[in-house]
A and B are shown apart, each in its own frame.
Chain A
């Protein structure tokens, strides 16, 4: 399994508990529009991602992340950095 695939699997697993509407999640799925997450859900989810990968995703960086694919890429970059 490549590093990105591994990251993707772990990210998808962390999305699931917050996927209250049972949306089918792909890399194109958008957090605000498709998953309809509010700011508190985002905070909890981001905290879980940060703990899982031992990284920090600032609000400035979060503003650039709209969909699942972008998050997986961002996690990859932050892990490397």
Chain B
């Protein structure tokens, strides 16, 4: 018998080597208690959370929690069905109405996760002789959407407008083209030049999909994302988003003004062949989305936090993923995985949780300590975070 798991031996060996040094496993952390959007208990220790994507801190919002409890009482714990059979409740429609209002768009389709939203929309709309042109640093869900479908896949260098334009020009005349972009790229926290990219895509006759997972709620005047901030929402055909970041629960969606959009509910397999979200989840999502429309003060504070952390880490001597704070993600670049894992553990020891990100999830084989800020982090907490980075950085010789 060929052991089908033998192909993972190099990874098993790498993990064993790393853990044999006595390091805490960065991918096995348990949150024993969650005290607020910004504080949890891990290994019995009170820990500041700086790696949750809980950008707007909606997870403990009293209105959101009340809506979820009410829906549990009124509709039960789950739908046990597909959206196209018995799995569409009033709450699912209300959630889609909230999205349509939030984005000021005609159509909204709610998926069970953000991953499935990309998987479903991308694999369904780009067919066999069509082309998908995508940024090389695209999220795994975008690549998996490409892999699930049959289209021709053309990558271009990260955020390179000219490389995108060149490739668009070489696509055979008459072929269908979908350009897939992200507002914020989640590994380094950098934003895309959507204004230029959408313009060259439209000039080439392509349709455009933008994943705004990491910008919803706090980028753009109404929190609609980078496309809104750069004034190109009207030229974007499909916006993909998630409930598992700023919205504070789980689920995914696509919003669009395309007149034929509703037919996708019947032909999109990751939408049809899975159970819909539980009533409590869509109730919390709808409540949260409506509250995010009025979140200007929280948005402003989140940006303050982002600027303060970025400047503070830079002053301490860390190498960051972006020269300026462009989003609520600040990525600290580590020299290698060993150093990164050591720094991650030292931070945890200080009482701070960040994400350790490593290849293949990261661009250019980088090891990153990825920090994502929350509107509920107080200014004092950001000071504490900087103090912890200073202590851990010196203890691991990452900084002087």
**Interface with A: B163-171, B279-287, B300-308, B389-397, which one?**
B163-171
* CB of A33 within 8 Å of the partner chain: no
Is A50 an interface residue when CB atoms closer than 8 A count as contact? yes
Q: Is A12 an interface residue (CB 8 A)?
A: no
Complex Cα–Cα for A16 and B169 (A): 27
Segment 342-378 of B: residues with Cβ below 8 Å from A: 360, 363-365
Task: Give A11-26 interface residues, CB cut-off 8 Å to B.
Answer: none
User: Taking the complex as formed, is B39 at the interface, i.e. its CB lies under 8 A from any CB of chain A?
Assistant: no
Contact A47 B154 (CB under 8 A): no
Give chain B residues whose Cβ lies under 8 Å from the Cβ of A54: 170
- Number of A interface residues in the complex (CB < 8 A): 14
A50 to B165, CA, bound (A): 13
Size of B's binding interface in residues, CB under 8 A: 18
A56 cross-chain contacts in B, Cβ below 8 A: 154, 167, 170-171
Q: Are A59 and B364 in contact (CB under 8 A)?
A: no
With A38-B365, A47-B157, A51-B166 as known contacts, state yes or no: A60 contacts B136, CB within 8 Å.
no
Least distance between B280 CB and chain A CB atoms (Å): 40
Contact with A along B271-303 (1 / 0, CB 8 A): 000000000000000000000000000000000
Q: Are B153 and A40 closer than 8 Å at their CB atoms?
A: no
Q: Considering only CB atoms, which chain B residue lies closest to A38 in the complex?
A: B365
Kindly list chain B residues whose C-beta atoms are within 8 Å of the C-beta of A28. none
Judge if A32 is at the interface, Cβ distance under 8 Å. no
Residues of B that sit less than 8 Å from A by CB? 131, 136, 146, 152-157, 163, 166-167, 170-171, 360, 363-365
Residue pairs across A and B with Cβ atoms less than 8 A apart, 17 shown, are A39-B136, A40-B363, A43-B155, A47-B156, A47-B157, A47-B163, A50-B166, A50-B170, A54-B170, A55-B170, A56-B154, A56-B171, A58-B131, A58-B152, A59-B153, A59-B154, A59-B155
